[in-house]
Amino acid sequence: MPPGGIVARMGTDARTLTRPEAVGRARALNRLTIGWNVVEAFVALAAGVAAGSISLIGFGLDSTIEVSAALVLAWRLRQEQRTGCTQPSDRRATRLIAVSFLLLAAYVGAQAVRDLAGRADPEASAVGIAVTALSLAVMPVLARAKRRLAPVMGSRAVEAEAAQTNICAILSGVVLAGLAANALLGWWWADPSAALVVAGIAAFEGRRAWRADALADTCCA
């Protein structure tokens, strides 16, 4: 079964799950996220460096941060298994995920401005178009499956990590549009412009995650 089919099946009827079942499903989605994004990051970064595409490099870095966020969430789920009460761990995990958003925004935004000012002309990247198109098909389904679990678990960390997966989906569409415009129309500025959009969205999500209050933790209520 393709990844989209797996996460679609896993995301159904989340409200009927017990808490241990929800934790188990969250861990399975977490492992899928890590595996997918490790491959995605490697391909996107290699293609981005080869083409001189800041939007594609930003996409690869986002995939790397997505792996970091998934590892943070894995730590948070392990804390629940050890102690039962997760709210302090949940809050710390959410803050770490927020920082990852902000770091991505700062780096990609600065590089995009530099490329626009220098009129950098990235090469067309067929590999980049393929990997972003595939991500655009899979990431929304994965984000939706994760988001359905957050209320069941009472976890802002799960919700924030789902938001980061959703950022990856939005980023896929934006980067794909920029790469296609550059490849088909020769619009050199489309690539750094797409990167600026990515930076703005990442900054917004980072600020929102940092300021968020933890959800009521069902196991501690």
Report CA torsion sign: 108, 177, 64, 39.
negative
Three-state SS at 150: helix
What are the domain boundaries of the chain? 3-211
Residue identified by tokens 């009927």 is 16
CATH 2.40.100, applies to 3-211: no
- pLDDT, averaged across the chain: 78
Structural Rg of the chain based on CA atoms: 18
Q: What pLDDT, on the 0 to 100 scale, is given for residue 55? A: 87
Residue 123 carries which DSSP code?
Answer: P
Q: Is the pLDDT of residue 111 over 70?
A: yes
- Count of positions (residues) in the chain: 221
Residue identified by tokens 């899928």 is 32
**Using one digit for the tens of pLDDT, what is the confidence trace for 165-191?**
887 888 899 999 999 998 998 898 998
Spatial contact of 207 and 160, defined as CB atoms under 8 Å apart? no
Q: Is the pLDDT of residue 215 over 50?
A: no
Mean per-residue pLDDT for 98-117? Answer: 87
Q: Is the pLDDT of residue 3 over 70?
A: no
Distance CA 178, CA 176 (A): 5
In this prediction, what percent of the chain has a pLDDT beyond 70? 76
Q: How confident is the model at residue 1 (pLDDT cuts 50, 70, 90)?
A: very low
Q: What pLDDT, on the 0 to 100 scale, is given for residue 87? A: 57
Q: What pLDDT, on the 0 to 100 scale, is given for residue 97? A: 74
Residue identified by tokens 């595409």 is 53
Q: What pLDDT, on the 0 to 100 scale, is given for residue 177? A: 93
Spatial contact of 143 and 9, defined as CB atoms under 8 Å apart? no
For residues 22 and 59, the model is more confident at: 59
Which H, E and C letters describe 9-74, residue by residue?
HHCCCHHHCCHHHHHHHHHHHHHHHHHHHHHHHHHHHHHHHHHCCHHHHHHHHHHHHHHHHHHHHH
